[in-house]
Structure 1
Amino acid sequence: MDQTLLMRMMELSYNGYYCSQILVILALEAQGKSNPDLIRAMGGLANGCGFAGGPCGTLTGAACLLSLYAGKGTDEEYEDERLKYMLQDLGEWFSQTYGSRYGDVTCESIVGDRTEIRQRCGAIVAETYAKVMELLTASGYDVTAGK
């Protein structure tokens, strides 16, 4: 992964953004956009949907990121039929990569006792962002253009 991108991820984390927020901020910045309302909303996915024992916020944030590019956002738009396949590929990859390593894809399973949270989560966010960009590019999306 690009060093500039990694440094930006670390800066965002240092500034208090969660995994799900970092993913979307990076994509919006690649498009030359900002959307504080969306970023605030993405915070609800962090920590297993607010410490509720739910799935890792990186996984759910990455699903939202795919939908940011391929989903329906207005009455005039249609969801890209490839979205469900990208989401399926993402879920399978995440489960095989992290679910098998940590026993499940819940935030709690991945971070455990939270002693290695920065290192563990940082790597997961970086690798997942790269996977999402790979899925989008393979489906013909210009990640700098958005929908």
Structure 2
Amino acid sequence: MPADAFRMFQLAAQGFCCSQIMLILGLDTLGKENPDLIKAMHGLCGGIGRSGKTCGALTGGACLIGLNAGKGNPGEFGHPKINMMLRELLEWFEDVHGNTDCEGILDQSLDEGNEYPVRCGNIVSATLNKVEEILAAYSEDIESEEEDY
């Protein structure tokens, strides 16, 4: 399902960045909340500390795949194809956006206090849709792994 543009706008207006919005929307889909996780995602804002490096939509998408398919405690295993899933996301992102860095994708400053660019919203929406597509493609594998444990 496509990302809810109004929900994304609300979150951006509340001061959340791309990586945080990715996880909030992913948690919404799971019917969960996790303020500590969202707080931790702040470190990825603006390409890690607003450095303009790796885009928060991409890192947020990777974290969302991890949230759904990663190892979370000593008694469980991550999905055996999680790295394939993550590489698929990375390759798609590079193909679509031509770069993985904020500064290579955007043509405006990422300084604290600047408006959340409309382009970022489009990138978050497209990336969330791709993550959902990847998770759906591997969902049968994810469900069978959960039954095994």
Contact between 2:17 and 2:116, CA under 8 Å: does it hold in 1? Answer: no
Q: 2:100 aligns with which of 102, 105, 111?
A: 105
Deviation of the 1:75 alpha carbon: 0.3
TM-score for both structures, normalised by structure 1:
0.86
TM-score, structure 2 normalization: 0.85
CA drift of 1:52 comes to 2.6
* Between structures 1 and 2, the one with greater helix share: 1
Cross-structure match for 2:43 = 44
Shift in alpha-carbon separation, 1:10–1:47, aligned structure 2, 3 A: same
Q: Deviations over 1:98-131 (max 9, x none)?
A: 02xxxx3211111222499521101000000000
Identity %: 45
**Deviation (angstroms), 1:8:** 0.6
CA-atom RMSD, angstroms?
2.1
- Per the alignment, residue 31 of structure 2 pairs with 32
- 8 A contact 1:53–1:108 mirrored in 2: yes
Q: In structure 1, the residue corresponding to 2:126 is in which secondary structure? A: helix
> Unaligned stretches of 5+ in structure 1?
142-146
Paired residues in the alignment total 138
CA distance in 2, matches of 1:2, 1:106: 24
Tell me if the contact between 1:48 and 1:55 (Cα under 8 Å) persists in the aligned partners.
yes
Gaps of 5+ in 2: 141-145
1:144 corresponds in structure 2 to: none
* Mapped partners of 1:105, 1:117: distance in 2: 18
